[in-house]
Amino acid sequence: MKIKFSLTSKVSYPLVFMCVSSVSTQLMAQTEPQLSAEERACMSLRFDDFSKLERGEAATNVIESSFVKGYQMNATESEWAYKHSRLMGAPIPRSQTQLPDHCLVKGYVSPTIRFELRLPARAVWNQKYLLNACMGFCGDVSPYPPMAGIVRHYATMSHDGGHTAYGFDGKWARNNQQLKIDFAYRANHVVAVAAKAIIEKFYHTQPQYSFITGCSKGGHAGVMAAKRYPNDFDGVIARGPTVNYTDVNLVNCMDNARAVLNDRNEPILSSQEIPMIASAVMSACDHKDGLVDGVISDPRLCDFDPQTLACEAGKVSNCLSKQQVEAVKALYAPSKNAQDDIIYGGLPYGSEPEWVGWVTPLLPQLQPFAYYAATEYLKYLAYPEALDVDYDWWDFSYQDEKENLKEISQIIDADDPDLRQFKESGGKMIVLHGWSDAAIPAYATIDWYENVETFMHGHHQEVRDFARLFLLPGVVHCGIDGPGNSTYDAIGALEAWLIGGVAPDSLLTQKENDQGEVIKEQPAYPYPIQAVYKGKGDPTKATSFHAGFLK
């Protein structure tokens, strides 16, 4: 790794206390005469006053700004930048290690929303701002999305959602309404306000276009922004969005966790059984899309019965016990309310490889992720005051508590179908959901999209004019490891739509090997249209598919 900072972040305290940019810039010019005007502008950002943004509501402080030249990412950085670029829908080459020269800005928005913003050098900036919204329960400022974003010359930002945490840890939210609001929607707005002010200071101009992207809670963020702050972003990319966030945690994750744990919280299913289940499902359903390729293109066409894996008398290995059969059936089954209405779709067929981690423990000392998402949300986010420490999550009844969850739902759920203001402001939205997502089944996103259509007077075209949903066969939750094609240039498609007026009637998706070589291509079409294999031709080529409907 080669790092060359023309300026370090160190500066003497007396200089900090002066806090007058013109004075400090003059001082810097005197002490660092070799610096370019651009480098000085970058360094002086930390002396600029951003405390009055939105009349103080978005009070911001830059605590570090340094101009970075000739930066080579190390192996870890380039690997994660590569992966994040795919989650962001703004892919960069696998071989990419060089970052363009840029201004690295770190700071926070009041009270505690930490951010990192990377501003490509003026000569290469594409005049656009890209915000990567944090995923999961947020909690750290990831440098990798900004690294990926500046490779494509976007001024790119990431942030921690307003708190410090790791994984599905909700303790930060305990009895703290402000942090919940920041996490729910405010952070993405105020960091965008801060970014635009910093961008204007650095480049002497506002970005021509602003985008928000992210996966899971980061996908929720774009949909939420379109609803609450329809003028913040011109374009939204939302992958695997957790639009109905309370239901995601307290229905979907909770029912899945309850399916695989007994009442002593011991696992009924282990990760060892998953390959057998995955393989049986694939054998039963792979061919139903007309192509035996290890991808179930539409799980709705699959009708696998877990009973076929039940142990025969005297057999205990390579089969499922009675209890395990019931657990697997429960995972596939939708969650219903007392009136027998579906409130959350079950796990899709083809999602089994991702069950490892989500519904079976990754390590023996861990519970499934679904357990943490459900119980941490229940304990620390669901109610204004945290539940008693001895509360048993098995006592929780969503049906009984629905009324009491209204307050948090109004804060955090992003499933309001009224996106008229975003549409009227000229905004465009690309939503993507992997069919092999074992964390958030795509069914919930389909329901939300159809609700938006219904709200828009049932006019499919009304919604297609500004928001399109792409369902991606074989693509997992927020990863690129599934059998499906997880490389697609959503931001390119979004710009063609926004700037060029060319709507994304199809989106090219690709699968890459570990060397970053494309091994498979397929078009994706806006929901409800599907890619159908023509029945002949190389199935790894996009030209072998046409737009249609799988039956």
Q: How far is the CB of 473 from Ca ion (least distance, A)?
A: 8
Say if residues 62 and 48 touch (Cβ distance below 8 Å): yes
Stretch that binds Ca ion, among 1-9, 64-72, 280-288, 442-450 (CB under 5 A): 280-288
Q: How far is the CB of 348 from Ca ion (least distance, A)?
A: 14
| Amino acid identity, position 542 | A
Residue nearer to Ca ion on the CB measure, 281 or 295? 295
The binder of Ca ion chosen from 199, 212, 259, 291 (CB under 5 A)? 291
Q: How far is the CB of 287 from Ca ion (least distance, A)?
A: 6
Instruction: Scan residues 56-85 and list those touching Ca ion (CB under 5 A).
Output: none
Paired tokens of 475: 């693509």
Q: How many CB atoms lie within 10 A of CB 98?
A: 12
Q: Is 278 in the site for Ca ion (CB under 5 A)?
A: no
Paired tokens of 419: 């996106």
Residue nearer to Ca ion on the CB measure, 102 or 288? 288
Residue nearer to Ca ion on the CB measure, 289 or 437? 289
CA distance 336 to 345: 9
CA distance 390 to 388: 5
Residue nearer to Ca ion on the CB measure, 186 or 520? 520
Stretch that binds Ca ion, among 295-303, 446-454, 488-496, 524-532 (CB under 5 A): 295-303
Beta strands in 88-207 (DSSP E): 102-109, 113-120, 128-132, 155-159
Closest CA to 548 of 533, 537, 536, 532: 532
CA distance 91 to 509: 11
What secondary structure, in 3-state letters, does 456-520 show? CCCCHHHHHCCEEEEEECCCCCCCCCCCCCCECCHHHHHHHHHCCCCCCCCEEEEEECCCCCEEE
Residue nearer to Ca ion on the CB measure, 298 or 415? 298
**Residues ≥6 apart with Cβ < 8 Å to 98:** 71, 72, 73
Distance separating the N- and C-terminal Cα atoms of the chain: 52
Q: How far is the CB of 281 from Ca ion (least distance, A)?
A: 12
Residue nearer to Ca ion on the CB measure, 293 or 376? 293
Q: Is 45 in the site for Ca ion (CB under 5 A)?
A: no
Q: How far is the CB of 286 from Ca ion (least distance, A)?
A: 4
What backbone torsions phi and psi does residue 259 show, to the nearest 5 degrees? -70, -30
Q: How far is the CB of 318 from Ca ion (least distance, A)?
A: 24
Residue nearer to Ca ion on the CB measure, 198 or 295? 295
Paired tokens of 438: 């074992």
Q: How far is the CB of 289 from Ca ion (least distance, A)?
A: 4
Q: How many CB atoms lie within 10 A of CB 471?
A: 25
Q: How far is the CB of 141 from Ca ion (least distance, A)?
A: 40
Residue nearer to Ca ion on the CB measure, 116 or 286? 286
Stretch that binds Ca ion, among 34-42, 84-92, 161-169, 287-295 (CB under 5 A): 287-295
Q: Is 295 in the site for Ca ion (CB under 5 A)?
A: yes
The binder of Ca ion chosen from 286, 298, 354, 453 (CB under 5 A)? 286
Stretch that binds Ca ion, among 23-31, 61-69, 284-292, 425-433 (CB under 5 A): 284-292
Stretch that binds Ca ion, among 1-9, 21-29, 293-301, 535-543 (CB under 5 A): 293-301
Q: How far is the CB of 386 from Ca ion (least distance, A)?
A: 46
Size of the site for Ca ion (CB under 5 A): 5
Residue nearer to Ca ion on the CB measure, 171 or 541? 541
Q: Give rounded-to-5 percent helix, strand, coil for the chain.
A: 40, 20, 40
The binder of Ca ion chosen from 116, 160, 232, 289 (CB under 5 A)? 289
**Residues ≥6 apart with Cβ < 8 Å to 547:** 506, 523, 525, 529, 530, 531, 532
Residue nearer to Ca ion on the CB measure, 222 or 348? 348
CA distance 522 to 473: 10
Residues that bind Ca ion (CB under 5 A): 286, 289, 291, 293, 295
